[in-house]
Chain A
Amino acid sequence: MISRVHHLKNIIKNVEKNILQIFGLPPRELALAYTYEKRLPEPKKFSIKDIVGDGILLAVPKFRRTVEKRLKRKFGSPEYTWKMLVPKTNIIVCNSCGHYHERGHLCAHCYKKVEAETKEIQDKIQQKLGNQKPIENDVIVLYNGESLPDQPKEFWRGKRIIEMKKDRPQWFSKNLLEKTTQQPSESKDVKPTDLA
């Protein structure tokens, strides 16, 4: 009885074998019970924790700020940095214009005048002498009604003369452009206009 079952089984086997042969498929003996496929790594789920880490709850106050700390932060300390503004005691009045300035500093109002005049002279120099080469020679500035002092010809070599078409400002004395290297003169005949 068992041998008949076996016999039947063999017949079925052979039929299957033949069918597979017909279709050109490989015999069943070569079939694998399990195919090993290379498993791709799962796409990593994005969570904010990957980037931020555990720092998401970092900045939180741990203790109440004491009143001393609060006051220190607000006012500072006289020994270190005093945060409150303190009135300055070194502000004085400018004698020439009457505006205020700090002791040891130039009066801003007076300086603005000088700055404006300087800019005018500089513009005139640029206009006349041009931007091609740097100006290495002395520049003599003459205002309305002024003439060059009497000097030998060698004195004038290499000196450029700029004529400003305006009156000399009251505060701009000739002394201001005198060089510190200039020796004090021995001459006793000085023209009134050349006095500082």
Chain B
Amino acid sequence: MNRFLSNLFARRFQCNTKNNLHTSGQDFAWTKSILPKSFIQNNQKIYPPQEIGENPRPAFICHQKTNIKYSHEKLWYIACFVRGMTVDEAVKQLSFVNKKGASFVKETILEAQDLAVKQHNVEFKSNLWIAESFSGKGVHIKGIRRHARARLGEVRYQYSHYFVRLEEGKPPEDYFKRNPLTAKQQLENWLEGMRKRKIINSF
């Protein structure tokens, strides 16, 4: 009886506060935040059972962090940095990146890793790699500043979102297709350079 009553009241309370705060439809800039939904809905997609000979579809986890007080252009650099890395490597590297966005991205990846194990049936939390990682623009709240000679400038307080998709398994060898030269190739190149040298004014 107690639990029934508490549930009843909790539902009403939910309608008022946290869940609907940002979609309450008031006409202020700061209440206009419409949170991105389509990326995270990929998690709910149910695939038909696979054929017998088909390659097993790896598990994936879509996660996002919204309304980060940071510029989305700057966040893009960090999102790019992390693509194609294993989760452990990404977290390790991000700890040594001197940017504000690095801490947000690191938190998001750790949360996603946690969700993967708890909700998405991933066996080993280290067996994950970052398949997709990108930033999006949130609300920009405008302000005014003064310049010399009666001129005004616009100040933008920028918010951004960060999206990440973890996939189970080993990452591809060369995600960005940089094709780095192997040690053997590098040695050959160096040798060739050395052999091309000429003693000037000689035969």
| Chain A residues close to B by CB (< 8 Å) | 48, 51-53, 55, 83-85, 87-88, 91, 100, 102
Q: Cβ of A85 and Cβ of B77 under 8 Å apart?
A: yes
Stretch with Cβ within 8 A of A (4 or more), from B32-40, B55-63, B88-96: B88-96
Chain B residues lying within 8 Å of A102, measured Cβ to Cβ, are 96
Top 6 A-B pairs ranked by shortest CB distance? A85-B81, A51-B150, A87-B93, A100-B92, A88-B96, A85-B77
Chain A residues lying within 8 Å of B89, measured Cβ to Cβ, are 87
Chain B residues lying within 8 Å of A55, measured Cβ to Cβ, are 149
Q: Cβ of B80 and Cβ of A85 under 8 Å apart?
A: yes
Q: Cβ of B77 and Cβ of A83 under 8 Å apart?
A: yes
Quick one: closest A residue to B81, CB to CB? Answer: A85
Q: How far is the CA of A88 from the CA of B93 in the complex (A)?
A: 7
Residue B112 at the chain A interface, CB threshold 8 Å: no
Residue B78 at the chain A interface, CB threshold 8 Å: yes
| Chain B residues close to A by CB (< 8 Å) | 77-78, 80-81, 85, 89, 92-93, 95-97, 149-151
Known: A53-B149, A84-B77, A91-B93. 19 other contacts (CB 8 A): A48-B150, A51-B149, A52-B149, A83-B77, A84-B80, A84-B81, A85-B78, A85-B80, A85-B97, A87-B85, A87-B89, A87-B93, A88-B93, A88-B96, A91-B92, A100-B92, A100-B95, A100-B96, A102-B96
Quick one: closest A residue to B95, CB to CB? Answer: A100
Quick one: closest A residue to B85, CB to CB? Answer: A87
Q: Cβ of A52 and Cβ of B150 under 8 Å apart?
A: yes
Q: How far is the CA of A55 from the CA of B78 in the complex (A)?
A: 39
Chain A residues lying within 8 Å of B96, measured Cβ to Cβ, are 88, 91, 100, 102
Q: How far is the CA of A82 from the CA of B92 in the complex (A)?
A: 22
Quick one: closest A residue to B102, CB to CB? Answer: A85
Chain B residues lying within 8 Å of A48, measured Cβ to Cβ, are 150
B101 CB, min distance to chain A CBs, angstroms: 10
Pull 11 A–B residue pairs with CB atoms less than 8 Å apart, ordered by A: A51-B149, A52-B150, A52-B151, A55-B149, A83-B77, A84-B77, A84-B80, A85-B80, A91-B92, A100-B96, A102-B96
Chain B residues lying within 8 Å of A52, measured Cβ to Cβ, are 149-151
Most buried by B among A55, A83, A100: A100
Chain B residues lying within 8 Å of A91, measured Cβ to Cβ, are 92-93, 96
Q: How far is the CA of A91 from the CA of B95 in the complex (A)?
A: 10
Q: How far is the CA of A160 from the CA of B79 in the complex (A)?
A: 55
B36 CB, min distance to chain A CBs, angstroms: 23
Chain A residues lying within 8 Å of B77, measured Cβ to Cβ, are 83-85
Chain B residues lying within 8 Å of A87, measured Cβ to Cβ, are 81, 85, 89, 93
Chain B residues lying within 8 Å of A51, measured Cβ to Cβ, are 149-150
Chain A residues lying within 8 Å of B97, measured Cβ to Cβ, are 85
A5 CB, min distance to chain B CBs, angstroms: 70
Q: How far is the CA of A48 from the CA of B78 in the complex (A)?
A: 44
